[in-house]
Amino acid sequence: MAEGNIPKRVSFSKPKPPAVGVGHADQDMEIIQAGCNLFKIRGRRKYLRVFSYDRDLSCISWDSAHKRTTKSRIYLSNIHEIRTGKSTESFRNSKAGLEFSDSQCFSIIYGPNYEILDLSSNEIRTINAWTTLLQSLIGGRSVEYQPIRDRWLKEQFELADKDASGTLEEKECSELLHALNLNISKKQIAIQFKQYDDNHNGKLDFDEFKQFFESLSTRDEIVQIFNHYAHPANVWEVTDFLIFLKSSQKCADIDETIVHELIEKYEPTSIKSEHRLSLDGLTNFLLDPKHFIYDPIHRDVNQDMSLPLSHYFIASSHNTYLLEDQIRGPSSVEGYIRALRAGCRCVEMDVWDGPQGSPIIYHGHTLTSKISLEDVIKAVNEHAFVCSPYPIIISIENHCSIDQQSTMAQMFHSIFGEKMYIEPVDVNLDDLPPPEFFLNKILIKGKKLKDESDIGDVSDEDEASELDAPEEVKNQIKKQEASPTSNESQATAPIVSSVTKKPNPVSHEKKIKLSVKLSKVVNYIQASHFKGLEKSINLETPCYTMSSFSEPKTESLMSKEGWKFIEYNKRQISRIYPKGARIDSSNYNPVTMWYHGCQIVALNYQTNGEFMDINNGFFSQNGRSGYIKKPACLRERFLAYDPSATLTRGVPGVVSKKYTIVSISGQQLPKPSGSSRRGEVIDPYIHFTLYGPGVNNISFKTKVVDDNGFNPNWNETFTFEAKFPELSLVRIVVYDYDRLSEDDFIGQFTVPLNSLMPGYRHVPLLTKEGTIIEFASIFLHIAIEDERISNKKPENFRDQNAKISRYLPRELATLTADIERLIVDSFAIFDNYNHSFAELKKSLGLNQEASIIQCLNSIHSREPNIKVRILQTDKEYQIETEIGESSKNVTFLKELVSQCNKVLSLSPHLKASLYEASQNCNKVLKLNSKSLNASIGNSYKLFDMAMVVGAVWTQEERLKETSIQVQLILDLIILWIRKHNLGSVSRSPSALDDYHPTDTPHEVPSSKEISGEKSAGLKSDTVQNMTKSTDNSLNNNNNNNNNNDNVIRMTI
């Protein structure tokens, strides 16, 4: 990670900048031999010295007024290690080192006593030159990569030089750069080309092209990463790459075979035949969109699509036909095409009587233009399933006469054909069918007659009546509606403009006539007038009826009856639409509605900006299918959640996470769209904003980097905790700072926290319209940790369990007692593991954020003669050390491995027991739902019950995450031992080949699954026996751990 002190600047007049990195080893050697200023860091003080490398003596020397020359010299043969950053205890504890960033520091470990020389410089270029050169020299390779790279580049140059002139013109250079996967804008190529065209003849010879290429391809921050893992050589071996992928990128399921494939794919030079990776190979790897910030799994449908329709959020558009504002703007079929191709699954049609008996669509009682219903239906039919095969919901706001209602129904049948689902609803259903049941089907949402033998009355819900238009617009509308030349026959519409008069909330609901033909095309999404929350919560309302709520009504429900609204939305579908004051087609924040369980949160898709970015980012995480599965606490009955108490109670069934984001650098950031400031260079900064329960509108801004859009460096850290990562997002925006006016938008990327990939990641940037900005990106480092578990949590759980046991059925009380034992056992595992890791870091003098690799490096610097023998047997590692019991650091390491062993060996048993307990607990709740309905009315009892039920989900998730974490720790210990040749490794043929602790994750069952025919009966005894078995396993592991203090057993 690069942490520069002075941002680089781009200028059109200065001399060409020096290239930095591995590719300039010869140039770096000259600089180092001539001598460089470096600070020696010791405690409170720093000493400026001139350091140089003596090639003849193979040593590093520095000037000193108080020491003889022989005392101010370190021979290469005595150097054990070069460490980048502040990676020694002396550096971390030094007050003088506080003024330098990690990227400005390195340390030399040397001599028989492993002495430490801590060095710093204000120039990152100098640090890179020293660390790159020293690592290659002590590795005995003497910068062997540079000739290979030059040879490869020369071959590519000659292939591009088609006329064999020995030179390349600008166009040929541009083509070659793109062929070498170096995506640089033509404008930037032109600027750099001129700087390296020494003869000013419009051509570059090979030496000029080499400098030109290296100036564009080498990035300081990636050099820092590369050097950190490249010890002792200046190339990565397979082990180096594996350690990087596991320790930094957190790639759990990866092995040497995959690493070989990655090297083959990304390494451009011949060293890939030796299974080695160069700086260029790492750069290519990091620049591949597959390894960007966004989880590649989420680019495809990855969620269970077999749950009831009400258990999903559905991408939804408001007044889809409008392209601009709500009052005067044009209506267009294009609105439907754009929305559907953007992944929208619910579109709206406001249908009115049109000329020649053919219905039209427009925003009634406004000045918006009108379009043919038939044209819209044809467009929907053509584009419905281009983006996603999951069902389309057409929300009909019907203002037509009976005749034109029948015409509308006929159009649906004739154009949609078999795509429209027309089977009658199954009135005995407890829950709606799932999205996968309606694959490639269109559902019509509208009013339904109770008796379809004849025309009947239904309530009219005219959303246009809530518009708050200016007085001059109201007058124009009145004139238009009073005009005798009006072509529309609005038989069912009020004569006086709805825009001028808001409905009286206490008046009786208005009725309209509904035709039988239109009623029959409606089945599973029946629009119904809202009659309160309790009826649905008490299962008195059919699951296939739904209501629409205005933005103000929704805010009122969320504020006054938030948890009840969530319970309502577990079974009924809610549709939310913008308030009438949004005549400019502005949008509201949809996140608040989502974490109250509202499924159809309709936005104005024609209005780009913050909230559409959030909507697009949120619905990207399931293959842009338009459907996102709701979290368990928004789906499962008796797993209650109160958003207003997110920070105090947490979220049942959810493990909160801590995120640390380091803003490292930017690449090729363009000027603002439409900018007329010729010759000016942007002053970029990054603005992070969070959205979600407990984090809404938390934000962080980096510093402004002056005059640098090509490669700005920030190196600033943003840390936050998310209580509900599943429903939280981060919006990352790059702005151009403007001292005199509003800062200009450059680009943005919005991503759900659950889709963030840890490690070093590039972030692509999108325009306001959502299109990719070619070549532009920012570079981040992301660390994700589970919440630190408090020692009080088991006691809190016991207290809650004691509360609810007073009013639960006996068999459920027995089950929750079993769950309590399982929860306490799993807490003990977490606590012991975390305690052992904390003690190891404490014994080594490291802070609690230190990684296992930092711990191992620290042990090695203290115990340089440590040797180990690794025996890899079936499902087990046995490690013997030659360090006696006097080494407390090794003892702490053994204890950590012992606790990792327990996590991996006991987690499967605990997860299986918790899973069975959750099935049985939910089944009892389902069977006793009527007797427990009284508890629904008592929110305190409900939330007490939810804490117990939710604890099962939470502990299962913790066990899964912790198993992955400890597996990575054990893998890294083995890789580190191999990398440093600290012992021998032998392997039994059957060992560990097919075992992965996270291969078989299971979904929490839905209430429907639990109550189905295949559900197991109550097995309280089984759960109790499993608990006893787990207790015995814990005792046995404790006994086994005392048998041999010199052997570390790693059960994988």
Report the number of secondary-structure helices (H) and strands (E) in the chain: 29, 34
Angstrom distances, CA of residue 497 to CA of 349, 370, 463, 467: 20, 17, 13, 11
Does the active-site annotation cover 318?
yes
Sign of CA dihedral 564, 569, 572, 577: positive
- The closest of 1027, 833, 829, 1011 to 914, measured between CA atoms, is 1027
**Pair type for strands 983-987 and 868-873:** parallel
Phi-psi region of 45 (alpha: psi -120 to 50; beta: other; left: phi over 0): beta
Tell me the C-alpha distance between 355 and 53, whole Å. 90
Distance CA 239, CA 975 (A): 6
Distance of CA 801 to the CA centre of its chain: 35
Structure-token match 């009856």, residue found: 561
Residues 6 or more apart whose Cβ sits within 8 Å of residue 553: none
What's the angle, vertex CA 531, arms to CA 526 and CA 535, rounded to 5?
Answer: 90
Q: Is 363 one of the annotated active-site residues of the chain?
A: yes
Per-residue DSSP letter, 994: S
- Residue showing tokens 């407990």: 694
> Please, are residues 725 and 654 in contact by the beta-carbon 8 Å criterion?
yes
Q: One of 318, 399, 596, 781 is an active-site residue; which one?
A: 318
CB-count exposure of residue 712 (10 Å: 0-12, 13-18, 19+)? buried
Which residue(s) pair with 346 in the sheet?
A: 316, 393
Peptide bond into 232 cis (omega under 30): yes
Q: CB neighbours of 54 closer than 8 A, spacing ≥ 6?
A: 33, 60, 61
For residue 35, the 8-state DSSP code is -
Q: At 336, phi and psi to the nearest 5?
A: -70, -40
Q: Which amino acid is at 983?
A: G
Q: Which residues contact 699 (CB under 8 A, 6 or more apart)?
A: 687, 688, 689, 690
The beta strands (E) that lie in 6-158 are given as: 36-42, 45-54, 59-62, 73-75, 79-84, 105-110, 115-120
Query: What residue has token string 């969320």?
Result: 558
What amino acid occupies position 882?
Answer: E
From CA 74, how far away is CA 809, in angstroms rounded?
77
The answer to whether 833 and 822 are in contact (CB under 8 A) is no
Distances in Å between the Cα of 37 and the Cα atoms of 31, 49, 119, 135 are 11, 6, 10, 19
In the three-class reduction of DSSP (H, G, I as helix; E, B as strand; rest coil), residue 429 is classed as coil
Q: Give the C-alpha separation, 39 to 119, whole Å.
A: 5
| Spatial separation of the C-alpha atoms in residues 965 and 960, rounded to whole Å | 9
Q: Is residue 557 within a helix (H) or strand (E), and if so which, with residue range?
A: helix 551-569
Cα separation, 351 vs 364, whole angstroms: 9
- The sheet with strand 868-873 has its strands ordered as 983-987, 868-873, 876-881, 1047-1051
Do 161 and 172 contact (CB within 8 A), yes or no? yes
Catalytic choice (311, 363, 399, 860) = 363
Q: Write down how long the chain is.
A: 1052
Instruction: State CA 825 to chain mean position distance.
Output: 31
Residue 1009 half-sphere exposure toward CB, CA atoms < 13 A: 14
Catalytic positions, written as ranges: 318, 363
